[in-house]
C-alpha cells in the first residue's frame, strides 16, 4: 500500500523569478506615474536664447542713461510786480550779469516814492526847526547865566563892603540887611539859571541824536524804495544763456512770480535716473565713465536726490577732468557707474528670464541638449552684461536666458 506524502509548503526557486518580475513591473509603473506628474513644455530649440555659465571677472557697475545740463540754473523771479513795458532780450540769447532783460512799470510804487520823499522832507524840516530852537535856547541860557553871574559878583561885593561898614557902625542896619538880601536873592537866581541851562544842554544832547536817527531811518527807507524802483528793471543774475522767459509786453507780473532762468554754461553736469533697486548702493563720490567716439571721460557722482518717483531716483554727475569738445545741453549719453570693486565670480549672461523668475530659478539644459530642468539659484550683483551667480550653477553649464512667460508652470522643457 502506497503512502501519500504531504507536499511541503514554502517558496520554491521558480517563485523568486515571479517576484522579481512583479517588482520590476511595479517600478516601471511607478516611474511612468511619477514622470507623468512632472509638468513639461515642448518647444523648438532655435526659438530660445541659450547661454553658458562661465567663470570670470565681474565688473560691479551699472549702465545708466543721462542728459547733459548746465552746471547751474539760476531762476529769475519778479522782485516787484508791474506791467511789462519793454522786452530787451529774447530767449536763447547770451547775457552778462546785470544786463536788463525786462522793464516794468508800477504806478503804485511811484506813489509810494512820492509819499516817502514828502515824509522825509517833513522830517528834515522838523529836525531843522528843533535844532534852531535848541540853539536859540542855548544862546539865551548862556547869556542869562553870564548876566546872573555878573550881577551875583556885584551884589556880593556890595554886601561885603556894607558888612564892613556896618561892623564899624558907619551905615544903618537896614542898609546892611538890604544888601545882604539882594546878594542872597542873586545867588538863588544864578543857581536856577545854571540848572536850567544844564537841563537844556542835556535835553539837546539826548533829543537831537534821536531825531537824527529817525531822519537816517527815513533816508534808508527812501533808499530802499529807490532800490525797489530799480527792481522794475529785471536784470540777468549771472553770465550765461537765457533759458526761458515767460513774459510779454503788456503782461502784468505779480511780485515773486517766476519769469525765467539763466543757464550757467561755464561747465556742465549730467542728470540721470537710476532704478530704485540700487538706491542703497548709490552714494556721493562714486566714479563713472562716459564713452564718446572711442574716448573715455571720467565723471564723479556729485549729488543723489532722495525722492523716488515711478521706481527711479535722480543723480547728478560732473566731469572730473576734460569733457567732450562738442558737448551741448540736452545731449544724451550712456554712462557706466562703478558701484564697487571688480572680483572673480561665476558669470551668467543677462536675459529676459529674470523678469519671469526674479532670479530665483532658471532652466538648466542637460548634457544631451534635448531637455532643460528647472533649478533654484541665487543671484548676487548685476551689471549691464552679467549676473553674479552665488548658488545653484556650475561653470560650463548651459541655461535658457530667454523669456519664460510661455512656459507656464512647466518644470521640464523638451527641446526639439
Let me know the angle formed at the C-alpha of 361 by 359 and 362, rounded to the nearest 5 degrees.
100
**Residue 377: what pLDDT?**
93
**Residue 299: what pLDDT?**
93
CATH topology identical between 37-58+343-415 and 61-69+263-338: no
pLDDT at 34 over 50: no
Of 77, 100, 89, 105, whose CA–CA distance to 252 is shortest? 105
Helix (H) or strand (E) holding 319: strand 312-319
What b/e sequence results for 294-304 when a residue is b if at least 16 CB atoms lie within 10 Å of its CB, and e otherwise? eeebebebbee
pLDDT in tens, 122-148: 877 777 777 788 788 888 888 888 988
Confidence label for 27 from pLDDT (cuts 50, 70 and 90): low
Other C-beta atoms lying within 10 Å of the C-beta of residue 1: 2
pLDDT in tens, 343-371: 889 999 989 899 889 889 999 999 888 89
What b/e sequence results for 271-287 when a residue is b if at least 16 CB atoms lie within 10 Å of its CB, and e otherwise? ebbbeeebeeebeeebe
**Residue 381: what pLDDT?**
85
**Residue 400: what pLDDT?**
92
* Residue 212 or 11, more confident: 212
**Residue 12: what pLDDT?**
58
Residue 64: beta bridge partners? 335
Return the minimum-mean-pLDDT range out of 9-23, 34-48, 233-247.
9-23
| Rounded Cα gap, residues 376 and 410, in angstroms | 14
pTM (2 d.p.): 0.50
pLDDT in tens, 239-293: 888 988 988 899 999 988 999 999 888 888 999 999 888 888 899 999 999 888 8
What b/e sequence results for 117-152 when a residue is b if at least 16 CB atoms lie within 10 Å of its CB, and e otherwise? eeebeebeeeeeeeeeebeebeeebeebbeebeebb
Confidence label for 13 from pLDDT (cuts 50, 70 and 90): low
Q: What is the DSSP string of 100-137?
A: EEEEEE-HHHHHHHHHHHHHHHHHHHHHHHHHHHHHHH
pLDDT in tens, 300-338: 999 999 899 999 999 999 999 888 888 888 889 989 898
Q: Is 408 left (phi over 0), alpha (psi -120 to 50) or beta?
A: left
**Residue 360: what pLDDT?**
92
68 Cβ contact partners less than 8 Å away, ≥ 6 residues apart? 268, 269, 270, 327, 328, 329, 330, 331, 332, 333
CATH of 37-58+343-415, one of 3.60.15.10, 3.40.47.10, 2.40.420.20, 3.40.50.1220: 2.40.420.20
Across the chain, what does the average pLDDT equal? 85
- SS3 label, residue 294: coil
Stretch 179-208: mean pLDDT, rounded? Answer: 87
* Domain edges within the chain: 37-58+343-415, 61-69+263-338, 108-230
Share of the chain above pLDDT 70, in %: 91
| Rounded Cα gap, residues 301 and 285, in angstroms | 5
- Give the pairing type, strands 412-415 and 40-43: parallel
Q: Which CATH class is domain 61-69+263-338?
A: mainly beta
Confidence label for 35 from pLDDT (cuts 50, 70 and 90): very low
* Residue 110 or 4, more confident: 110
Integer CA distances (angstroms), 201 to 129, 215, 300, in order: 16, 21, 71
Amino acid at each position: 500500500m502506497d503512502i501519500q506524502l504531504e507536499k511541503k509548503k514554502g517558496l520554491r526557486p521558480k517563485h523568486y523569478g515571479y517576484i522579481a518580475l512583479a517588482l520590476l513591473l511595479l517600478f516601471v509603473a511607478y516611474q511612468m506615474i511619477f514622470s507623468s506628474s512632472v509638468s513639461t513644455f515642448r518647444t523648438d530649440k532655435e526659438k530660445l536664447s541659450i547661454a553658458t555659465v562661465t567663470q570670470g571677472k565681474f565688473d560691479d557697475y551699472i549702465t545708466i542713461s543721462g542728459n547733459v545740463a548746465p552746471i547751474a540754473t539760476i531762476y529769475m523771479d519778479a522782485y516787484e510786480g508791474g506791467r511789462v513795458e519793454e522786452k530787451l532780450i529774447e530767449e536763447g540769447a547770451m547775457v552778462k550779469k546785470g544786463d536788463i532783460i525786462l522793464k516794468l512799470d508800477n504806478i503804485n510804487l511811484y506813489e509810494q516814492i512820492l509819499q516817502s520823499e514828502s515824509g522825509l522832507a517833513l522830517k528834515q524840516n522838523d529836525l531843522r526847526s528843533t535844532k534852531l530852537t535848541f540853539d536859540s535856547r542855548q544862546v539865551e541860557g548862556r547869556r542869562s547865566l553870564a548876566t546872573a553871574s555878573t550881577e551875583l559878583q556885584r551884589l556880593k561885593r556890595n554886601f561885603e563892603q556894607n558888612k564892613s561898614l556896618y561892623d564899624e557902625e558907619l551905615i544903618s542896619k537896614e542898609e546892611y540887611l538890604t544888601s545882604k538880601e539882594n546878594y542872597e536873592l542873586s545867588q538863588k537866581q544864578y543857581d536856577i539859571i545854571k540848572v536850567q541851562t544844564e537841563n537844556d544842554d542835556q535835553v539837546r544832547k539826548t533829543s537831537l541824536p534821536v531825531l537824527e536817527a529817525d531822519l537816517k531811518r527815513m533816508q534808508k527807507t527812501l533808499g530802499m524804495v529807490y532800490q525797489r524802483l530799480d527792481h522794475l528793471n529785471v536784470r540777468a543774475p549771472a553770465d550765461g544763456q537765457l533759458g526761458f522767459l515767460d513774459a510779454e509786453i503788456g503782461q502784468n507780473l505779480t511780485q515773486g512770480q517766476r519769469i525765467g532762468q539763466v543757464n550757467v554754461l561755464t561747465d556742465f553736469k549730467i542728470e540721470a535716473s537710476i532704478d530704485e533697486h540700487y538706491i542703497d548702493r548709490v552714494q556721493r563720490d562714486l566714479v563713472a565713465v562716459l564713452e564718446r567716439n572711442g574716448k573715455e571721460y571720467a565723471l564723479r557722482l556729485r549729488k543723489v536726490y532722495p525722492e523716488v518717483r515711478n521706481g527711479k531716483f535722480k543723480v547728478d554727475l560732473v566731469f572730473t577732468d576734460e569733457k567732450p569738445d562738442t558737448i551741448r545741453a540736452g545731449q544724451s549719453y550712456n554712462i557706466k557707474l562703478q558701484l564697487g570693486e571688480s572680483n572673480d565670480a561665476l558669470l551668467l549672461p543677462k536675459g529676459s528670464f529674470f523678469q519671469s523668475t526674479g532670479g530665483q530659478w532658471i532652466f538648466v539644459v542637460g548634457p544631451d541638449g534635448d531637455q532643460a530642468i528647472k533649478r533654484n539659484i541665487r543671484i548676487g550683483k548685476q551689471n549691464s552684461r552679467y549676473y553674479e551667480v552665488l548658488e545653484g550653477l556650475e561653470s560650463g553649464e548651459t541655461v535658457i536666458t530667454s523669456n519664460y512667460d510661455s512656459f507656464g508652470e512647466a518644470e521640464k522643457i523638451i527641446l526639439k
